[in-house]
């Protein structure tokens, strides 16, 4: 009897362990998690001390094995400090929005909005603490402002920014509580020929 009881006891414990293992694996495999990785190229359309606004396009990266989103993007980023050779400016916040289509052209005085029928309509916040690390090879460009001409460093910066509160809809499916990360380069060299700076990089969203 003791041997039979011991065998039965071991069998019950093993069955419980198998059930827990299978249940845990199923829980992990069914947990919703979508990673969208996009190429982003955006042009700066407004700038003032401590703030920059960009409008451009987000497109899927072919062959990367991850899904992507095809949409327009508008980002408004605040920062401390000023661009300069070897300077690291700190991002202090901001907002961004992804739309299949915007209701209007870029405008620094109004908040961007998606058209009512946008298949993709996502938004979020920029986390304080991101960085823009400027190179040391750039020159200076003369930029005209309402207060007169100013000198702006015309180098390039390596930019890293984290996003939170990613929410909205993707193809009719609501999402919330997501996060994101942008890594790329801000090119100020176009200022030397009277054109706007370009932000070029990779955006990853998880929700």
What is the reported pTM? 0.82
Domain identity same for 53 and 25: no
Q: How many angstroms separate the CA atoms of 149 and 152, rounded?
A: 10
The pLDDT confidence band at residue 6, using thresholds 50, 70 and 90, is very low
DSSP string, the chain: -HHHHHHHHHHHHHHHHHHHHHHHHHHHHHS---EEEEEEEEEEEEEETTEEEEEEEEEE-TTSSS----EEEEEEEEEES---TT-EEEEEEEEEEEESSBSSS--TTS---B-TT-SEEEEEEEPTT-EEEE-SS--EEEEEETTEEEEEE-SEEEEEEEEEEEEEEETTEEEEEEEEEEEEEEE-GGGGGT---EEEEEEEEE-
Domain identity same for 78 and 136: yes
Domain identity same for 110 and 129: yes
Domain identity same for 45 and 24: no
Q: Which domain holds residue 19?
A: 1-31
List the single range of 39-43, 91-95, 110-114, 146-150 with lowest mean pLDDT: 146-150
Domain identity same for 7 and 97: no
pLDDT on residue 66:
77
How much of the chain, in percent, has pLDDT values that exceed 90? 76
Q: Is the pLDDT of residue 14 over 60?
A: no
The pLDDT confidence band at residue 34, using thresholds 50, 70 and 90, is low
Domain identity same for 13 and 85: no
Report for 20-34, 51-65, 180-194: range of highest mean pLDDT: 180-194
Domain identity same for 58 and 157: yes
The pLDDT confidence band at residue 33, using thresholds 50, 70 and 90, is low
User: How many Cβ atoms sit within 10 Å of the Cβ of residue 29?
Assistant: 7
Mean pLDDT for all residues in the chain: 86
Domain identity same for 170 and 200: yes
**What's the pLDDT tens digit per position in 137-172?**
999 999 988 889 999 999 999 999 999 999 999 999
């Amino acid at each position: 009897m003791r041997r039979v009881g011991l065998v039965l006891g071991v069998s019950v414990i093993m069955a419980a362990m198998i059930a827990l293992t299978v249940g845990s694996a199923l829980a992990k495999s069914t947990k919703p998690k979508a990673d969208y990785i996009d190429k982003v190229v955006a042009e700066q359309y407004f700038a003032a001390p401590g703030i920059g606004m960009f409008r451009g396009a987000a497109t899927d990266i072919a062959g990367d094995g991850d899904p992507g989103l095809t949409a327009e993007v508008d980002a408004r980023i605040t920062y401390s400090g000023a661009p300069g050779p070897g300077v690291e400016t700190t991002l202090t916040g901001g907002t961004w929005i992804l739309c299949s289509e915007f209701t209007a052209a870029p405008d620094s005085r109004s908040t961007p909005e998606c058209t009512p029928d946008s298949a993709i309509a996502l938004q979020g916040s920029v986390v304080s603490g991101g960085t823009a690390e400027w190179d040391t090879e750039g020159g200076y460009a003369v930029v005209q402002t309402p207060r007169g001409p100013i000198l702006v460093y015309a180098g390039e910066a390596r930019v890293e920014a984290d996003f939170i509160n990613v929410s909205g809809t993707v193809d009719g499916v609501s999402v919330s509580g997501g996060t994101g990360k942008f890594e790329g380069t801000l090119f100020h060299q176009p200022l030397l020929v009277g054109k706007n700076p370009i932000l070029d990089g990779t955006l990853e969203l998880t929700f």
